[in-house]
């Protein structure tokens, strides 16, 4: 039996090729632009839960098709800071022009951790990509939590953390997009308190739920008091053995689970243009 045949047998008919031992898998042979039957949607959701981020190549997804695809897995949600596409406010354009030096979200993070109900998942579709560079890194927060010592797990189990949208590094990463595309709807709270260790609502597994872009301090502590432990966790959670790396090309789609992963778009393609469309799916209150 060939390696591909074994993959198909093990995954219920999906051609799933893992990118790394930690997380991430490419799924081949699926056209996401048309109607998907319930069995295929269930298999793709299972793959997402198993691998935390799944990738598809050579897709043709106009904004309407991207929204329809996202709606098969959850409720598309409007991004609060950047105006969506005309006629498709739930589709956020993510654009870095050739003359820009800062990229959108260019820091390790999980999407919208500053909301009371952070995003469950995100779909990002590539329209125009640089000849080289512009990859995205992903990190597995199950593994980050499980690699901690028992003593650290006990310490973190009772902690909650304040997450905010206006930490300087992440705020600067979206400033150019807001200037060029216009602000979003606004009017939403952009600070929330969440458990430092959350349980995934579908798998039940525990994951580390802090990130350098949004986590400010522990509840009941000052920023100075929180900084040493948070600094350790921020470095620990992106150790190379917890990560995978994805190289984009036009027509690629990434679909990731924000409840147990981080991502980091690398800003290494100055002088080249990159255009993506993003849809986030509404989530629940972390517990």
Catalytic residues: 109, 111, 263, 278
Q: 136 vs 206, 209, 211, CA distance in Å?
A: 24, 20, 16
Stated length of the chain = 287
β-sheet bridge partners, residue 243: 139
Residue from 39, 28, 23, 22 nearest 3 by CA: 28
């Amino acid at each position: 039996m060939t390696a591909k045949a074994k993959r198909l047998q093990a995954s219920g008919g999906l051609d799933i090729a893992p990118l790394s031992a930690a997380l991430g898998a490419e799924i081949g042979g699926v056209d996401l632009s048309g109607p998907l039957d319930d069995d295929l949607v269930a298999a793709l959701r299972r793959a997402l839960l198993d691998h935390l981020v799944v990738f598809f190549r050579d897709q043709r997804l106009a904004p309407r098709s991207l929204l329809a695809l996202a709606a098969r897995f959850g409720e598309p949600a409007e991004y609060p800071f950047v105006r969506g596409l005309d006629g498709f406010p739930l589709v956020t354009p993510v654009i870095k022009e050739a003359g820009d030096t800062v990229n959108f979200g260019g820091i390790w993070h999980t999407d919208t951790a500053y909301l009371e109900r952070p995003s469950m998942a995100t779909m990002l579709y590539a329209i125009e990509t640089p000849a080289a560079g512009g990859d995205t890194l992903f990190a597995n927060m199950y593994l980050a939590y499980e690699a901690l010592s028992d003593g650290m797990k006990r310490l973190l189990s009772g902690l909650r953390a304040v997450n905010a949208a206006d930490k300087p590094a992440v705020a600067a990463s979206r400033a150019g997009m807001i200037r060029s595309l216009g602000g979003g709807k606004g009017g939403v709270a952009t600070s929330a308190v969440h458990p430092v260790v959350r349980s995934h609502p579908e798998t039940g597994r525990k994951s580390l739920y802090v990130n350098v872009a949004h986590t400010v301090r522990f509840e009941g502590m000052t920023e100075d008091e929180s900084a040493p432990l948070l600094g350790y966790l921020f470095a620990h959670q992106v150790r190379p053995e917890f990560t995978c790396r994805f190289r984009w090309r036009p027509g690629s789609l990434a679909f990731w689970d924000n409840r147990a992963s981080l991502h980091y778009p690398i800003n290494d393609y100055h002088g080249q243009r990159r255009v993506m469309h993003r849809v986030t799916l509404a989530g629940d209150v972390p517990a």
